[in-house]
Structure formats: structure tokens, C-alpha cells
Amino acid sequence: MELDRTDYKILHYLQNSGRISNSDLADAVGLSPSPCLRRVKALENAGILKQYVALVDAKAVGLPISIIVNVSLHSQERGSLMEFETKVAEYEEVLECYLMTGNFDYTLRVVAPDLDSYHRFLAEKLTRIKGVANIQSSFTLKQVVYRTELPLSGIMRN
């Protein structure tokens, strides 16, 4: 699907307020409601709009500890990578997992209510995944920037 300026505007507004009404969205992007809804449905059907979510404050719900975890595997063969990815995807503490270049094979973002819980996660889950060779944990002190909106304004200009 090729996106035009109006599609990018729709994406901008939906990224900032997934609960915006179709009528308000249509007004914001300069369309009538029916064509606006058709465009939103097309973006959904194309997989560009993946899902609508509510952002929850982790600290407010008792998950104040955020950890960046770098993991190295003994082997980088396809089977080892797939096994690690499948297993780590099962763990609700893992919010993000990236296959990396550089010194580590994977970088994870993990949340926990306290240090004891994170220690249990390491001891009972992460270290038990077959093929894990090394784990390095870095505890975040302060979240400086956190965005969920993709920077589409630069793309719209091109």
C-alpha cells in the first residue's frame, strides 16, 4: 500500500490518540467521515495499523524496575536463535527483545516489581534457556525519553 500525505496525517493522529472518534479524526485530516473510515480500515487491513493499546504507567502499577539485558548465546546457528526467541517470547517480564549486531546476540527490556523478582526471573527463566552463554544486566535510573509515535513528519516531506 502506498501512503499519501492524508494517510500519514491519519497515522499521526491515531498514534497520539487511539481513541479519537472517526468524526474528529476526519475533521483533523480534512476528510468527511466515510472516506476517513475507509482509509483507516485500509491501513488496518494492510497491517500498517497493527493494534490499538492503552499505555500504562509501569511504576503506578507496581513495576518500577526497568532493566536492559544483553544476552550472548553459545551458538548463533538458526536453531539456537529460534529456540531462544521462542522461549523468551513466553516471559511476560520481557517487553521487548531485539536480535543485535555487536558484542551481544540479543538485547531485552525487562520490567520487575523489585530486585528479588528480577533475580528469580534470571535464575528460574533466562539462565535456564538452552544455549545462553552470558547475561549482562543494566538497571535504568531514569527514563529520559519514551515515545510511541513514529517520526512520520520527515517522511511526509519527502
In angstroms, the CA 71 to CA 9 distance is: 38
What does the alpha-carbon distance between residue 155 and residue 125 come to, in Å, rounded to a whole number? Answer: 41
* 85, HSE (Cβ side, Cα atoms, 13 Å): 13
Tell me the CATH number at 89. Answer: 3.30.70.920
pTM of the model: 0.88
Same domain, 115 and 49: no
What is the extent of the structural domain holding 25?
Answer: 5-54
Instruction: Tell me whether residue 55 is exposed, middle or buried, using C-beta atoms within 10 angstroms of its C-beta: 0 to 12, 13 to 18, 19 or more.
Output: exposed
Query: Rounded mean pLDDT of 51-61?
Result: 95
Count of domains observed in the chain: 2
Residue 155's pLDDT band, with cuts at 50, 70 and 90, is: confident
Q: Is residue 44 part of a domain?
A: yes
Per cent of the chain over pLDDT 90 is: 95
Phi and psi (nearest 5°) for 133? Answer: -105, -35
Lowest mean pLDDT among 3-12, 89-98, 127-136, 145-154: 145-154
pLDDT of residue 35: 98
74 with 109, same domain? yes
**If we measure between CA atoms, which residue out of 57, 52, 71, 150 comes closest to residue 111?**
57
Classify residue 61 by its DSSP letter: T
Asked whether the predicted pLDDT for residue 154 surpasses 90, the reply is: no
Q: Is residue 150 part of a domain?
A: no
What is the rounded distance in angstroms from the CA atom of residue 105 to the CA atom of residue 83?
A: 13
